[in-house]
Amino acid sequence: MSNGVLLRVRDVVVEREGRTICCVESLDVAPGQHWAVIGANGSGKSTLLSVLAARLWPSSGTVDLLGERVGRTDLRALRGRLGLLSSSLTRQLREQLETHDVVVTGRDGALEPWWTTYSEEDHRRADAILAHLGLHGSERRDLASLSEGERTTVMLARVLMAEPEVLLLDEPASGLDLGARERLLGLLDTLAQEGETPRVMVSHHLEELPASTSHAIVFKSGSVIAQGAAEDVITSGVISEAFDVDVTVERLSHGRYVVHAKS
């Protein structure tokens, strides 16, 4: 895609039952950028992520993903290049699957290890990714035995197994305790430092944004109210408007955000 843009949205509208649930005039995601998609529940942020993941066709507008125009390409092949992490995908996997099998099948998006024949290199790589993410020794544990934090990390490893060109994360810290959340955000910051793979991450809690967040797009009632560099967008005024609450937003020296309600 021209100018190094990997994801491009123009005049996209998603409608359901005659109601606009997501409207984005323009969005470009380039290598090395790490976007936060912020907004209250039902504001349109997860709908945008579904569009970017080639899982949802917009009612109107154009979407170009990795140089391919949605509607003019094989979406099955395209989805294999987009690394989507969401709870809906996690629920499709059997609880009895071993951690190693969850990760190695991420190479081609299979739900069971017997659907495909994997090479020794595939198996070594799956274990290496698990070790890199701090789960060495967990390869033979099944999903049912994992904590929520461990399960999220395993699913991230599964996404990385496919060597995606973009990471798309739908509220990955949801349901995690403080320790698990901090470990996950540390992993995302490490991945950001290791390469130029861009990240688009949905969240409605600013405390869940990694320090590496570089850009943000903020939704309210299906429409974008601000977008651009994170320091220009994630502000007290914008966040107060998005959530209809009077707050003060502060970005700490290490890049993380905190929010304080005004008394």
Q: Is the distance from CB of 236 to CB of 262 less than 8 angstroms?
A: no
For the chain of 263 residues, list the mean pLDDT of each consecutive stretch of 10. Answer: 82 93 96 96 94 93 94 83 87 90 90 87 95 90 92 93 94 91 94 93 95 97 96 96 96 93 79
Q: Say if residues 22 and 48 touch (Cβ distance below 8 Å).
A: yes
What is the bridge-based pairing of β-strands 223-229 and 215-220?
antiparallel
Task: Copy the structure tokens of residue 163.
Answer: 């060597």
What pLDDT shows up at residue 18? 86
Q: Is 112 exposed, middle or buried (0-12, 13-18, 19+ CB in 10 A)?
A: exposed
Q: How far is CA 197 from the centre of its chain?
A: 12
Q: Cβ distance 74 to 67 under 8 Å?
A: no
Q: What is the pLDDT of residue 75?
A: 81
> What is the pLDDT, as a whole number, of residue 3?
62
Query: What is d(CA 130, CA 233) in angstroms, rounded to the nearest whole number?
Result: 35
Query: What is the rounded CA–CA span in Å between residue 121 and residue 143?
Result: 23
Q: What pLDDT score does 169 carry?
A: 96
Q: State the pairing for strand pair 215-220/34-38.
A: parallel
Question: What pLDDT is stored for residue 4 in this prediction?
Answer: 85
pTM of this structure: 0.91
Encoded amino acid at 39, one letter: G
DSSP 251: E
Q: How many CA atoms lie within 13 A of 239 on its CB side?
A: 28
Show the domains of the chain with their CATH numbers.
1-81+165-263 (3.40.50.300), 88-163 (no CATH)
Residue 1 has a pLDDT of 47
